[in-house]
Structure formats: C-alpha cells, structure tokens
C-alpha cells in the first residue's frame, strides 16, 4: 500500500507537483495518466526515492520513505528507457540486479515467457530495442514483490510480447499486488486499469475508476472520455486561473 | 558499493574503448623504448604525453560514461541500495579500469625492456604513480561535473574546459603573474600555486626526480626546504590525494540530495 | 776502476762522519719522543717513528730528514698548535697520522707546513681534523702524494684548506683523498704545477681552487659534492683534462667556475648532476672539447664578456638546460656537438643534422629573470612558448647555434 500526502515538488521555478494526495491499495491496478509534463514521472520517481519532495510525505507499506532505501525491496520497477551497460551479457545483468536485492528472484519462467533464452549470452549493447525491453520486463517482474510500478511497459514490444505482458500483469493482480502503470496507449490502459489517476499541471484532476470516468464524460471508450475531459478543462476559465497561481 | 564497483569495472574492462586506450599506451611505450635507447629520455617523453593525455582521457571517458549510464542509474536507484553507493561505485569502477589500462599499457613494455634492474626504476615508478593519481583525480572531477549538470553539452564543454585550464591556461596565468610581480618574494606563491593544480603537482613529483640539480639552483630558503628534503614529495603526494578526496566527497554529498 | 772510486767515496764519507744514520722513536726505543730525535739527528738521517701517541706541540724540522711512520704513529696537536713545520730542503714525511690542529682565527695553523723549502715529499700520511692540512708557502719542486685528509668543516670562516699552496712552483699533488675542508686544494700564485688523480669531496667551498696561477694542469681528478667542483680565477693557461665533476648541488654550485681565464683547454671531462656544469665569466679563447655533460641543471652558463670560445665535440645529454647566456657581446662557437634535445633530421646520412640546433631556450631567459618560475619547468605552457620561440626566434640570440649538430653521441677517447 502506498499513501501520498500533500506532495509538492518544483524544479527551480517550474512547479511539477502541487499538493498531491493519493492512496493506492493492494490488489488493484491503477493507471496514472496525463499529458506530457503533467508530473506523472515525477510522481513515480518520488515514490521510488529518485526525486526528493519539497513537501509532503510518502509512505510505503505504512513506513515513511524519506532517506530510506530498504523499502525499495518491496517494489518492482520497470523504467521507461531500457538502457543497460553495453558490455554486460543478459545473464550477467540479471545476476547483477539479483545481487543487489535480498529478495529471491524467479527469472526462468519470465525468460521463457518472453522467449529470451537465445539471448542470454548476448551483450546488451548488441540487442534490439524490443529485446532490451523484454530484458527490462524480466528484471522488473522477477521478484515476487507486493508493489509493481511500470513506466510505459509496452514501448517497443511486438503484439505477441504485449499479449504475454498483459497476461503477466493480470496474473500478478490475482496474487493481490498493487500495480501502478503509466502509458500513452489508451487501449492498453482501458484493458488493464481498474482505477485512473489523471494528472494535469501537477494536480490530480480526476481520481476514480475507469468506468466512472467514462460515465462522467459520456464516452464508451477511455480515449474519448479523456479527450473530452481535456477539452473541457481548456474551455474552463476558472482552471486557467488556477494554472496561473 | 562493492557490487556496483564490481559490475561497472567488469563492464568497462570489456569495453572497446578501454582496449583502445590500453593498446594506445602499449604501442606508444613500445615504440618509444624501441626508438630511443636512453630510458631516461623515454621517461621524459612519456611524462610530457601523460601529463596531458591521462587527464584528458580520464575526464572525457568518465563524463561520457556518466551521461551514457543515466538510464541505467535510474534502474539502480530503484533498487534497495543507498543512492550514494551507486555513484561512488561507478566512479571507482571507471577510474580503476582507466588506471588498470594505464598501468598495463606503460608497465608491460618497461618490464619487457628490463626496467626492474635498471637505474631508472625510481623514475618509472614515479611516472606510474603520477598517471594513476591523475586518472583518479580527473575521473572524479568529470563525475562531479556530470552529476551537477543534466545538460550533456554543458557537461562536456565544462569537462574540456577544466582539462584545458589545468593543463595549459593555469600555467600561463601563473607564469605571467610571476613575471609581473618578480620584484616581490615569490617563493611561497610559486609553491602554493603549484599545489593548487593537480597537473602541476604531478609534474613537480617528476621534476623532483629528473631536474633536482636545476631546481636547487634557486637559493630561496622555502625552495631549498621543499626540493631539498622529502617534504616536497610528501606534500605533493598529500595534495594529490586531497585532489581525489575533495571531489569524491562532493560526489558523495551531491548524489545524496539531488533528484534524478 | 769503478770499485776503487767507490771505495774512496766510502772512506771519504767515514772521515767526514756523514754516514746517514737511522734513529728509532718509540716507547721502548733509544728516543722516546720525536723532538729529541730531531735534535740528535743530522741532515740526511732517517727517523723511524713507531706506532704510539706523540703529543709534543709544534715540531720543527730544520734539516734534511726523512721521517717515516711505522704503523701510523699518531702525532697529536691537542687542538692547540700546528703540528709539523718544515723549513729545510729535502725533507720527506711518510706514513704519519697527524691529528687535531685546532681552529685558530689568528694564524693559519697546519698539520704539515713547508716553508721556503724545495724538494720535499709528503707521502701516504693521514691528516685528521687538521685546520689546514698541508700548507705550502714559497715551496718549490715538491710532491704531495697519496695522503688522506679528513675534516668536519662547519663554516667557511672557521675552516682551512686540505692542501694550501701559496707562491709555489713545480708542485705535484697526486692521488690524495681530501674531504670536509673549506677548499680541497687551493693554489694561489702557484705556477707550473700538476694536480692529478685526486678525489676531493664534501668541501664547503671548492674541490680545487686556482687564484692567480698560471701554466698549471689538473687531470683525472674527481670532484664530488662540493659547494662547487673547481674554481679557476684570474689565471692563464690552465689545462683541464679528464676530470669528473659530480653532484655539486645548490644555489651557487658549479662543476667548474671560470672567472677571468684566458687560453685554457677543457678536454674530455665529465660533468654529471651539477646544478651548473660550467659557469663562465669574462673568459676568452677557451677550448671545450670532447666533454660530457649529463643530467646537469645547466650544462654551460655563460655570463657576459666571453669571446672566441670554442665548444665542439661535446655530448650534451639530458640536461635541464644545455646552454644559458646572459649579458651581451658574447661571440662563441658551438658547432659539432651532440645534443640529446636535438630533433632535427639527417637526410644525407652523414651523421650531421641538416638543420642547426639552438641550445638556448626561451624559458632559460624567463628563469634567469624570475628564478621562481622554475616550478613551471617542463609544463605544457612552457613547452609551447619554447616551441614557438624555436619556430620564430625573438628573444634567443640568433647567432648561438650549432650549425653541425651530431645525430649520435660522440665517442670520446678517454685515456683511462
């Protein structure tokens, strides 16, 4: 379980998150959505301790995370851009990441799922973007951690691998894990996410279930709902004022 | 830190560029030793090259590595390890692999040419020590720059500037200052200003071996004390170690509090 | 016929009572002390002094005696007096150990003084802590050979010279080992003399010092760790051959200092690890031939007023500066040397470089003006300014160049 209270963060003069409060529960798939620069990545990085908040507290499994590092053992993380040391082999990379964790890892089933066996002895620098993303997925899912954070998980994946990924996410959901996703692919989000957090200019603009969102904006598809939501905010002078503050 | 160090070190010693760097030193040293029969001349030629090249390559290599591994660092930051360990481990990995290439590249040819029994052993060891320390110093400076500047272009530019400053510009300003104020006692200034530049310090260590006769030609008491006793060597090595320690400490501090 | 002549000679000698006698001095001998033995002796006698300690104050030898020490008898001045003073011709002093003359600021006391005498021999003696070792004044045609002289001089004012010669002619100073004095060997107004195969080291001032002395030569000596190796001042026609000048380090340290010297030959000497190999001031018509300069701060430093000097056939190897010139009006030749700094080429392969070498670097001017800039030696910036000066000379004198630099080290025909 992750709870965020009154989180604010600015980089220089640029305020990225303003007073964000959020509760993420176990046995749930949540998606964080929002246009570019809305603070999605900053929010995720704050949870992971890469970004240090100006104000507010973040607790993971009930413990405040500030200045700590051990709590990250509870989190599996898939980063957006998969770049690894070029001269390490796939097997060595996986071993290295396991080496950094205390939790036991189960890479073999994942390697089979994404058909990576032929690449295990290949240097990471020689892999294609899609294969690298598969390696990235293996390293992210191989621990049985209670929290999974996925930043653009489908990027670079072929349809078969995407399908395998979806199955995998659902399987982990069944185990009662907390799963947090960001993605640009609305169909993917619609298919996977139960709850939606929509960020706009550092605020939580909408928080609720996927169905509530569609209902609110009278749309049958998530993409349409979000498009309508964004158009409405653009025409809302009150909101403009908010931005200028 | 050990684990991060271990993996970045193993990653790097298999990198093509490390091998190129090693091959370059092997070739250079073998060529010099074959063409020049006088090993003390080889040491002097190498000194000139090393004082320029080791800082340049160490800082460029480190700054490139540092920027290239940004995304991987993000992955590491998501692991349950303290973030300071990541940067110190990477720094040590890069600096050690550079130092290893340097040691092997210079050391093997000299060993083949029988340095062990020769009178030049002292000069050779000084040369090795100086190159080693310079690798660690300029690697640390480059890591620090990369850590402070997210803008790659700015980071590269600054790194080259730092190198150029310490390798050439500093000495130019230093020389002009000394000539300008030559009517004043300059002993302390001359020695003090040398201590503030790691390349000058390294040069000083070599001069203490090669040119002691000329250095003692100047009668100033401070000079005599500095160059005439082991104080000069101790102070130079001490300052060089500080030149590693201070940037590493800054890396430690900044990596603890910055955002990624 | 010959036998008869010899016989007559012996008879004559017996009659005159002139047979050379042998007098022994020791605790159990007829003579217990040296002074009574001298008093009892006649010219031409030989004194054998057996090992033991003799403390008899100043001993005066005023007749032609041969004094031989057996087992190095110690003659001790107890830091109170001069030990042996010789005023007669044909005196030999051999195998003595003379000690403790003691410093005096009023008189130049010596271990052995030869005063207005000829044909003396001072051989294989040990002199320890004698203020002056062997002091020769108005002495001629004598030899100082194989002596070992040690002292612990602290400062110039309270120390003397190991061999000190003043107004002498035709001396031979040979195979001595002298250390720890003010000057190792000091010649003032000494002509036609030879100094060879000596080792002079750790002197406060000079290993060998010539003042106002002409037609002398010194060869095969080693001068090591002195304030300066050899100083030759105000003298003419001094030959300097095959000496070693080593490790003379310090603010005013030279291997060889030449001041107001004309017409000298400096041949086949080795200058190694000196702050300045040779420092020349106001000296003309000197030939520097086949010398080796290795690892010196400056191989040769020429101050003003030096003309018609010829530097050729020398090896300049790994010196910090090969040549420095200060002052104007210096016209000298530097052709046909080997310079390890030379980077020219030799297309016609005749062993002579095709482009001239300029031994004076710009930086040596800078150092001359501001000595503290020495700390920038071998820095890249200094290399750059040296290089640009090499390409288009502004400050370094254009006439100072070797037009025929050798590509390889010159083989030097040493005789030892």
CA distance C200 to C197: 10
CB spacing of B257 vs A48 below 8 angstroms: no
> Do the domain assignments include residue C352?
no
Strands across the sheet containing A203-209: A75-78, A147-151, A178-182, A28-33, A195-200, A203-209
Greater confidence (B81 vs C405) lies with: C405
Mean pLDDT of chain C: 88
Test mutation, B214, B215, B220, chain C, max C CBs within 10 A: B214
Inter-residue contact B65 to A86 (CB < 8 Å):
no
Neighbouring C-beta atoms of residue C36, cutoff 10 Å = 14
- Confidence band, pLDDT 50/70/90 cuts, at residue C12: low
pLDDT surpassing 70 at residue C14:
no
Total beta-carbon pairs less than 8 A apart between chain B and chain C = 117
Give the contacts of B121 (CB within 8 A, at least 6 positions apart).
Answer: B115
Q: Which residue of C has its CA nearest to B193?
A: C375
- Please state the separation of Cα B231 from the chain's center in Å: 21
User: What pLDDT was estimated at residue C189?
Assistant: 95
Q: Can you give the residue ranges of every domain in chain B?
A: 2-257
CA distance B198 to B186: 20
C254 close contact with B: CB closer than 8 A: no
CA distance C144 to A4: 101
Which residue range forms the structural domain that includes residue C52?
Answer: 19-226
> Do the domain assignments include residue C10?
no
- Confidence band, pLDDT 50/70/90 cuts, at residue A245: very low
Exposed, middle or buried by CB within 10 Å (0-12, 13-18, 19+), for B176?
Answer: exposed
User: What pLDDT was estimated at residue C220?
Assistant: 95
User: What pLDDT was estimated at residue B188?
Assistant: 82
Q: Which residue of B has its CA nearest to C371?
A: B218
Which residue in B206, B210, B216 is closest to C250 by CB distance? B216
Produce one character per residue of A84-107: b if its CB has 16 or more CB atoms within 10 Å, e if not.
bbbbbbbebbbebbbebbeeebeb
C129 close contact with B: CB closer than 8 A: no
Inter-residue contact C46 to C68 (CB < 8 Å):
yes
CB spacing of B11 vs A86 below 8 angstroms: yes
CA distance C290 to C300: 14
Show residues of chain B in contact with A99, CB under 8 Å. 3, 7
User: What pLDDT was estimated at residue B72?
Assistant: 82
CATH number of the domain that C55 lies in?
2.160.20.10
The chains found to touch B (3+ Cβ pairs under 8 angstroms) are A, C
B188 close contact with C: CB closer than 8 A: no
Contact flag for B and A (3+ C-beta pairs < 8 Å): yes
Neighbouring C-beta atoms of residue A137, cutoff 10 Å = 24
B200 close contact with C: CB closer than 8 A: yes
pLDDT surpassing 60 at residue C16:
no
Give the contacts of B106 (CB within 8 A, at least 6 positions apart).
Answer: B25, B29, B46, B50, B127, B128, B131
pLDDT surpassing 50 at residue C242:
yes
> Do the domain assignments include residue C322?
no
Low-confidence ranges of chain B (pLDDT < 50): none
The token pair that represents C165 in the structure block: 């010669």
Note the pLDDT tens digit of each residue in A33-71. Answer: 888 878 888 888 888 888 888 888 888 888 888 878 888
CB spacing of A69 vs B80 below 8 angstroms: yes
- Confidence band, pLDDT 50/70/90 cuts, at residue A143: confident
User: What pLDDT was estimated at residue A240?
Assistant: 42
Which residue in A52, A81, A101 is closest to B79 by CB distance? A101
Q: To the nearest whole angstrom, how far is the Cα of C276 from the nearest Cα of chain B?
A: 8
- For the ranges B22-31, B219-228, C64-73, C227-236, which has the lowest average pLDDT? B219-228
Which residue in B15, B71, B82 is closest to A69 by CB distance? B82
> Do the domain assignments include residue C5?
no
Share of residues in chain A with pLDDT > 90 (%): 2
pLDDT surpassing 50 at residue A241:
no
The mean pLDDT of C42-68, rounded to a whole number, is 92
> Which single residue is written with the structure tokens 């100072």?
C400
Show residues of chain C in contact with B207, CB under 8 Å. 377-378
With CA atoms as reference, report the closest residue to C213 among C136, C150, C153: C136
C326 close contact with B: CB closer than 8 A: no
Neighbouring C-beta atoms of residue C39, cutoff 10 Å = 9
With CA atoms as reference, report the closest residue to B65 among A90, A122, A85: A85
Show residues of chain B in contact with C340, CB under 8 Å. 38, 41
State the DSSP code for C295: S
Phi and psi dihedrals of C187, rounded to 5? -115, 120
Note the pLDDT tens digit of each residue in A178-189. Answer: 889 988 888 888
CA distance B197 to B181: 20
Q: To the nearest whole angstrom, how far is the Cα of B133 from the nearest Cα of chain C?
A: 18
Show residues of chain B in contact with C369, CB under 8 Å. 179, 182
Q: To the nearest whole angstrom, how far is the Cα of B182 from the nearest Cα of chain C?
A: 6
Q: How far is CA C248 from CA B82, C150, C208, C291, C296, in A?
A: 59, 19, 13, 17, 9
B127 close contact with C: CB closer than 8 A: no
ipTM exceeds 0.90, yes or no: no
Note the pLDDT tens digit of each residue in C245-261. Answer: 998 887 778 899 999 88
Test mutation, B19, B75, B254, chain A, max A CBs within 10 A: B75
CB spacing of B74 vs A75 below 8 angstroms: no
pLDDT surpassing 50 at residue A244:
no
C 350-379: CB under 8 A from B: 366, 369-379
Produce one character per residue of C129-151: b if its CB has 16 or more CB atoms within 10 Å, e if not.
bbbbbbbbbebbbbbbbbbbbbb
- Confidence band, pLDDT 50/70/90 cuts, at residue A151: confident
User: What pLDDT was estimated at residue B185?
Assistant: 80
Show residues of chain B in contact with A88, CB under 8 Å. 7, 10-11
User: What pLDDT was estimated at residue B64?
Assistant: 92
Domain count, chain C: 1
**From chain A, which residues contact B within 8 Å (Cβ)?**
11, 45, 48-52, 69-73, 75, 77, 79, 81-88, 92, 96-97, 99-102, 139
User: What pLDDT was estimated at residue C6?
Assistant: 65
The mean pLDDT of A126-130, rounded to a whole number, is 87
Which residue in B7, B14, B71 is closest to A83 by CB distance? B71
User: What pLDDT was estimated at residue A242?
Assistant: 42
- Please state the separation of Cα A224 from the chain's center in Å: 22
CB spacing of A79 vs B69 below 8 angstroms: no
Which residue in B69, B70, B77 is closest to A85 by CB distance? B69
Inter-residue contact C108 to C135 (CB < 8 Å):
yes
Note the pLDDT tens digit of each residue in B68-118. Answer: 888 888 888 888 888 888 899 999 999 999 999 999 999 999 998 887 777
Inter-residue contact A127 to A158 (CB < 8 Å):
no
Give the contacts of C350 (CB within 8 A, at least 6 positions apart).
Answer: none
- Please state the separation of Cα C177 from the chain's center in Å: 11
> Do the domain assignments include residue C304?
no
Show residues of chain B in contact with A100, CB under 8 Å. 3-4, 76, 79-81
Q: Which residue of B has its CA nearest to A140?
A: B75
Produce one character per residue of A229-245: b if its CB has 16 or more CB atoms within 10 Å, e if not.
beeebeeeeebeeeeee
Mean pLDDT of chain A: 84
Neighbouring C-beta atoms of residue C243, cutoff 10 Å = 29
C332 close contact with B: CB closer than 8 A: no
B173 close contact with C: CB closer than 8 A: no
Test mutation, B213, B216, B222, B229, chain C, max C CBs within 10 A: B213
Inter-residue contact C289 to C262 (CB < 8 Å):
no
Which residue in C276, C317, C374 is closest to B215 by CB distance? C374
Which residue in A73, A83, A87 is closest to B80 by CB distance? A73
Note the pLDDT tens digit of each residue in C314-352. Answer: 999 988 899 988 766 568 889 999 998 888 888 988 999
CB spacing of C273 vs B179 below 8 angstroms: no
Q: Could you tell me which residues are beta bridge partners of residue C60? A: C85
Note the pLDDT tens digit of each residue in C116-155. Answer: 999 999 999 999 988 899 999 999 999 999 999 998 878 8
- Domains in chain A: ranges and CATH: 2-244 (3.40.50.300)
Give the contacts of C257 (CB within 8 A, at least 6 positions apart).
Answer: C206, C228, C230, C231, C232, C233, C278, C279, C281
Half-sphere exposure at residue A89, Cβ-oriented, CA atoms within 13 angstroms: 9
B179 close contact with C: CB closer than 8 A: yes
The token pair that represents C339 in the structure block: 């310079």
Q: Which residue of C has its CA nearest to B187?
A: C372
């Amino acid at each position: 379980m992750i709870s965020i209270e009154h989180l604010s963060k600015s980089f220089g003069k640029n305020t990225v998150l303003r007073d964000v409060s959020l509760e993420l529960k176990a046995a749930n798939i949540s998606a964080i959505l929002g246009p570019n620069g809305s603070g999605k990545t900053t929010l995720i990085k704050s949870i992971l301790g890469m970004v240090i908040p100006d104000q507010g507290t973040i607790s993971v499994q009930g413990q405040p995370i500030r200045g700590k590092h051990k709590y990250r053992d509870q989190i599996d993380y898939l980063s957006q851009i998969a770049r690894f040391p070029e001269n390490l082999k796939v097997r060595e990379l996986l071993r290295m990441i396991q080496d950094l964790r205390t939790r036991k890892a189960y890479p073999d089933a994942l390697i089979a799922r994404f058909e990576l066996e032929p690449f295990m002895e290949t240097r990471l620098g020689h892999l294609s973007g899609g294969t690298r993303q598969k390696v990235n997925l293996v390293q992210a899912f191989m621990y049985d951690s209670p929290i999974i954070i996925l930043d653009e998980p489908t990027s670079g994946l072929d349809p078969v691998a995407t399908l395998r990924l979806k199955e995998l996410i659902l399987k982990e959901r069944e185990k009662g894990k907390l799963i947090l996703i960001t993605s640009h692919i609305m169909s993917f989000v619609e298919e996977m996410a139960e709850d939606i957090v929509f960020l706009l200019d550092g605020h939580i603009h909408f928080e609720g279930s996927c169905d509530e969102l569609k209902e609110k904006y009278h749309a049958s598809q998530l993409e349409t709902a979000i498009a309508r939501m964004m158009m409405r905010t653009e025409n809302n002078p009150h909101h403009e004022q908010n931005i200028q503050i | 830190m050990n684990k991060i160090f271990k993996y970045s070190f193993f990653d790097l010693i298999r990198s093509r560029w490390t091998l190129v760097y090693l091959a370059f030193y092997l070739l250079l040293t073998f060529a010099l030793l074959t063409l020049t029969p006088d090993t003390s001349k080889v040491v002097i030629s190498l000194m000139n090259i090393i004082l320029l090249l080791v800082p340049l390559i160490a800082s460029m290599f480190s700054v490139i590595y540092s920027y290239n591994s940004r995304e991987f660092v993000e992955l590491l930051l998501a692991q349950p390890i303290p973030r300071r360990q990541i940067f110190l481990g990477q720094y040590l990995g890069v600096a050690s692999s550079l130092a290893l290439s340097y040691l092997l590249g210079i050391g093997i040819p000299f060993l083949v040419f029988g340095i062990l029994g020769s009178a030049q052993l002292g000069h050779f060891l000084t040369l090795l020590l100086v190159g080693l320390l310079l690798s660690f110093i300029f690697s640390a400076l480059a890591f620090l720059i990369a850590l402070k500047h997210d803008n790659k272009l700015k980071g590269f530019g600054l790194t080259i500037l730092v190198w150029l400053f310490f390798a050439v510009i500093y000495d130019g300003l230093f020389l002009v200052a000394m000539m300008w104020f030559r009517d004043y006692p300059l002993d302390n200034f001359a020695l003090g200003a040398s201590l503030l530049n790691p390349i000058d310090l390294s040069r000083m260590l070599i001069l203490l071996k090669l040119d002691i006769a000329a250095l003692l030609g100047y009668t100033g008491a401070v000079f005599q004390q500095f160059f005439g006793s082991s104080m000069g060597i101790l102070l130079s090595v001490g300052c060089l170690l500080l030149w590693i320690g201070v940037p590493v400490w800054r890396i430690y501090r900044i990596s603890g509090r910055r955002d990624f | 016929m010959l036998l008869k002549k010899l016989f007559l000679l012996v008879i004559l000698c017996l009659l005159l009572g002139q047979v050379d006698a042998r007098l022994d001095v020791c605790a159990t001998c007829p003579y217990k002390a040296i002074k009574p033995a001298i008093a009892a002796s006649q010219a031409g006698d030989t004194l054998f002094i057996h090992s033991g300690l003799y403390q008899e104050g100043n001993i005066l030898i005023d007749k032609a005696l041969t004094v031989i020490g057996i087992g190095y008898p110690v003659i001790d001045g107890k830091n109170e007096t001069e030990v042996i003073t010789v005023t007669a011709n044909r005196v030999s002093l051999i195998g003595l150990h003379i000690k403790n003359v003691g410093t005096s600021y009023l008189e130049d006391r010596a271990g052995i003084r030869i005063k207005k005498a000829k044909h003396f021999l001072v051989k294989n003696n040990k002199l320890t802590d004698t203020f002056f070792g062997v002091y020769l004044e108005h002495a001629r045609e004598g030899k100082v050979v194989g002596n070992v002289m040690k002292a612990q001089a602290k400062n110039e004012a309270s120390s003397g010279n190991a061999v000190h010669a003043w107004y002498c002619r035709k001396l031979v100073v040979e195979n001595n080992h002298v250390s720890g004095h003010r000057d190792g060997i000091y010649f003032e107004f000494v002509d036609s003399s030879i100094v060879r195969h000596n080792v002079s080291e750790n002197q406060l001032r000079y290993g060998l010092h010539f003042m106002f002395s002409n037609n002398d030569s010194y060869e095969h000596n080693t001068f090591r760790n002195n304030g300066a190796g050899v100083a030759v001042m105000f003298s003419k026609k001094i030959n300097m051959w095959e000496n070693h000048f080593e490790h003379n380090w310090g603010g005013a340290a030279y291997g060889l200092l030449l001041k107001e010297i004309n017409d000298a030959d400096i041949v086949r000497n080795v200058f190694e690890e000196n702050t300045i190999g040779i420092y020349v001031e106001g000296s003309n018509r000197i030939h520097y031939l086949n010398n080796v300069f290795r690892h010196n701060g400056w191989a040769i430093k020429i101050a003003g007023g030096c003309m018609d000097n010829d530097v050729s056939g020398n090896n300049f190897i790994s010196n910090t500066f090969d040549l420095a010139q200060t002052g104007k009006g210096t016209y000298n030749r530097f052709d046909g040397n080997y310079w390890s700094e030379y980077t020219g080429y030799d297309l016609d392969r005749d062993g002579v470089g095709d482009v001239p070498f300029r031994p004076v670097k710009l930086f040596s001017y800078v150092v001359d003006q501001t000595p503290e800039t020495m700390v920038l030696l071998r820095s890249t910036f200094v290399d750059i300014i040296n290089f640009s000066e090499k390409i288009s000379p502004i400050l370094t004198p254009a006439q100072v160049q070797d037009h025929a630099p050798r590509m390889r080290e010159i083989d030097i025909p040493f005789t030892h």
